[in-house]
Structure 1
Amino acid sequence: MIKSLATLALTLCLATAAHAGEDDFVAGTLVPDYGKYAPRESARLPEGTVMKVAFDMSKAAPDGEINSDLVKVARFLNMHAGSGVAPENLSAAIVVHGAASADLLTAEKLGHPNPNAELIAELLAAGATIDLCGTTSAARDIAQEDLLPGITISLSAMTSHALLQQQGYTLNPF
């Protein structure tokens, strides 16, 4: 009997937690159509906080899907803006190499619409930067005109990360 009651109580707790979770996420202000986050009023950041974070992106999204690494950057921007970081103190740099380069291409180069195009435009409008590794560009025959507007080709991903670190960026470990 006690075991049954404990099991019932645990089931109700888990069901309540699972039910409440999705409703806790809200759209952000910097990238409004992507990167929902769960606000935490008790986790406000100090006034004047500066966030300069680099994101490494090497895995392509499954065909026809949005790259979850790009959504992660949108969530980062929205979450920190929603936690009190002023937009001018919030910088995200995305360094792309390998297979993920396909997620940066124009519809003309892909032969079909790029599902990442709208998200990339919103990220760039929010002040994020996107650099494609020059080595990847050469290896995959990607020219500047093959990329969505606002994306740059760097010497290499290694170079981009080194320069970003010198500019005070930290590398997001996730």
Structure 2
Amino acid sequence: MLKLATALTAFTLAATPLAAQSEAFHAGPVFTEFGQIADVETTMAIPVDAQFAVAFDTATRAEPGEINRTLNSAARFINMHVAAGVPRENIRVAVVVHGQASLDLTRAEFYAARQDGAENANAAAIEALLANNVQFILCGQTAAYYEIDVEDLVPGVDMARSAMTAHALLQQDGFTLNPF
């Protein structure tokens, strides 16, 4: 009984900070429906003339009805830095997609046909990100494997020869790879 009480107490204490953390997050200045951010006190200053060129990579698909975690992270990256005073035009973001996440980039009809009629919750997020100059690149090798053609993609999503090709070209254009 003591072990159970100790375990419950540890679980409650561990869960409390998570609940408190979720209340700290709010809509950002660019994307209000996703990409929530928290205001934090920092000790690492962002230079006034900071310029970001960041590539995100994902192969992990979202569950039907949910937004892909990497799309949310890309929106959060933009929201955080605009909120910190970085001009939006100083932030370039690309999202490279391969593997099972490829389906998240497809048009409603294609997605529904592959997901038992489910709606692609990612489509609206992709459109909002595209409208804010976020680049989406699908790995062509993955597309071939999953039988996805260019016309199956949300309009504005690019198809590269491969994710490796996309990352190599993005690096040559000054992008760094975000490890998250």
Scaled by the length of structure 1, what TM-score is found? Answer: 0.86
**Identical amino acids, percent of aligned pairs:** 46
Question: CA 1:106–1:15 in structure 2 vs 1: closer, same or farther (change >3 Å)?
Answer: closer
Question: CA 1:16–1:102 in structure 2 vs 1: closer, same or farther (change >3 Å)?
Answer: closer
- Offset, 1:20: 3.8
Mapped partners of 2:65, 2:16: distance in 1: 33
Mapped partners of 2:144, 2:21: distance in 1: 44
Question: CA 1:24–1:166 in structure 2 vs 1: closer, same or farther (change >3 Å)?
Answer: same
1:149 aligns with 2:150: no
Question: How large is the RMSD of aligned CA atoms in angstroms?
Answer: 2.2
Instruction: String of CA shifts for 1:29-63, please: whole Å, max 9, x gaps.
Output: 22221110112254552211011100111011123
Question: How many equivalent residue pairs?
Answer: 165
Contact 1:39 / 1:83 at 8 angstroms: preserved in 2?
Answer: no
Contact 1:130 / 1:152 at 8 angstroms: preserved in 2?
Answer: yes
Q: Which moved more, 1:53-62 or 1:108-117?
A: 108-117
Q: In the alignment, what sits opposite 2:67?
A: 66
Q: In the alignment, what sits opposite 1:32?
A: 32
Question: CA 1:102–1:15 in structure 2 vs 1: closer, same or farther (change >3 Å)?
Answer: closer
1:45 aligns with 2:51: no
Instruction: Note the residue ranges of structure 1 that are not aligned, 5 or more in a row.
Output: 1-9
Structure 1 runs of 4+ aligned residues shifted over 4 Å read: 13-19
Instruction: Note the residue ranges of structure 2 that are not aligned, 5 or more in a row.
Output: 1-9
Question: CA 1:16–1:96 in structure 2 vs 1: closer, same or farther (change >3 Å)?
Answer: closer
